[in-house]
Chains A and B, each alone.
Chain A
């Protein structure tokens, strides 16, 4: 029988942090969520395939360790904890790997996010925005088949977020992210059996209509602290390498601006910068879900001052 969600994990967690004081403080915060935590000053546990889940406190690493980490080909996805903006470092880290980043607040990372991330890393139950919203939050759903529906849905979300009292700048971010998610699912995600993408090079002003079995699902809701929006497509065609490339070049500020046709090539990085927490779940060939979460509990300045969490989960291929 699987362990209950909130039970201490018997597998434990290794926290890499050379600073004993800082590491000890963070380990105690993590322990309350995941059970036993052992500290390591070196990066060695990352290369041990038998090690339990390993988390790296990035801010605590030395410069040499950061360089070594960027070069390491770790057997498991990285789970990074960081306090501040590590933009330059992330450019290197995202270049050719999957890195999961969780922002550490004063009392450690958000316990719910940490539990969800660890559960998703250890198991293959990766889908669902509910995992990131408090229990009881009502989630609204709309099926989309046509790009013509996008403008109307943006108006619906604007009205909904206004009714919740969300400040205008945060509402703008919600609209931006929703637009990017819908556009990606309708234009970029569709893939034929020969792996060609029929709509990806079309101008986003051209109407695209999907077949009934290809419809995408827009979901949105709010738990009083976070506003969440997700879009799920039935293609699962987004490749991790494409995400690495987009985020890495975005972090470097070296945007590969596509001026010819189709999308601008900026979408993923544009989204990441507009969210408190960005989650991409992929079941290759079957489903992709993009989840965006924005902290709406305060003013825009609170959102802007906080770091950005990012998670990418890719299911093992079932084909």
Chain B
């Protein structure tokens, strides 16, 4: 599924845009960029599942466009797919502030996948719980990435 946005109007606080799907060459950001003209913007990114190389380009251009706006932009619940790109590509997040990321967990006992959200303020890799209780079978679900590297974007 190509990337889609749902925009939530809020009476107070930043405008909120929720992303869902794959970031590919066909993605459009115009509506979200326009939101940043009007005030602070919060992007919910937990639903981004894939990104292609052309999607990386479009995303970087999107972040550049947001960087030129007068209002702050924050990224919340950044999906593991996008965390990976933040760690690999220096300017992937532009000037936006990463407020929170999604931590992926996988249960070897039953194959269940689940997630937790980590608030980034003051967080380090030590804040990542290595195991949590599996919602499906009660066994230990392990953090499904390389913990010491997962937040390396935040120390650059």
Q: Indicate if A270 sits at the interface (CB-CB under 8 A).
A: yes
- Give the dominant DSSP class at B's interface: mixed
> B53's contact among A165, A169, A267, by CB below 8 Å, is which?
A267
Chain A residues within 8 Å of B88, by CB:
253, 273
Cα separation A183 to B22 with both chains bound (whole Å): 15
Most buried by B among A151, A167, A264, A305: A264
Partner of A300, one of B52, B54, B90, B145: B145
**Cross-chain contact B89 with A169 (CB below 8 angstroms):** no
Identify B51's interface contact among A176, A183, A205, A305, CB under 8 A. Answer: A176
A299 adjacent to B106 (CB under 8 Å): yes
Q: Which of A253, A257, A259, A299 contacts B144 (CB 8 A)?
A: A299
Interface size class of B (residues with CB under 8 A): 20 to 34
> B32-73 vs A: 1/0 string, CB under 8 Å?
000000000000000001111110110011000000000000
Asked if A236 CB lies within 8 Å of chain B CBs, one says no
A 203-229 to B, binary, CB cutoff 8 A, 1 in contact else 0: 111000000000000000000000000
Known: A204-B54, A205-B25, A300-B104. A168 touches B49 (CB 8 A): yes
Q: Which residues of B are found within 8 Å of A113, using beta-carbon distances?
A: none
**A266 within 8 Å of B (CB atoms):** yes
Q: Is A292 an interface residue (CB 8 A)?
A: no
Complex alpha-carbon distance, A266 and B92, angstroms: 13
Q: Is the CB of A270 within 8 A of B53?
A: yes
Kindly state whether residue B142 has any CB partner on chain A within 8 Å: yes
User: Are the C-beta atoms of A167 and B61 separated by less than 8 Å?
Assistant: no
| B contact residues vs A (CB 8 Å cutoff) | 2, 22, 24-26, 49-54, 56-57, 60-61, 80-81, 88-90, 104, 106, 108, 111, 113, 142-146
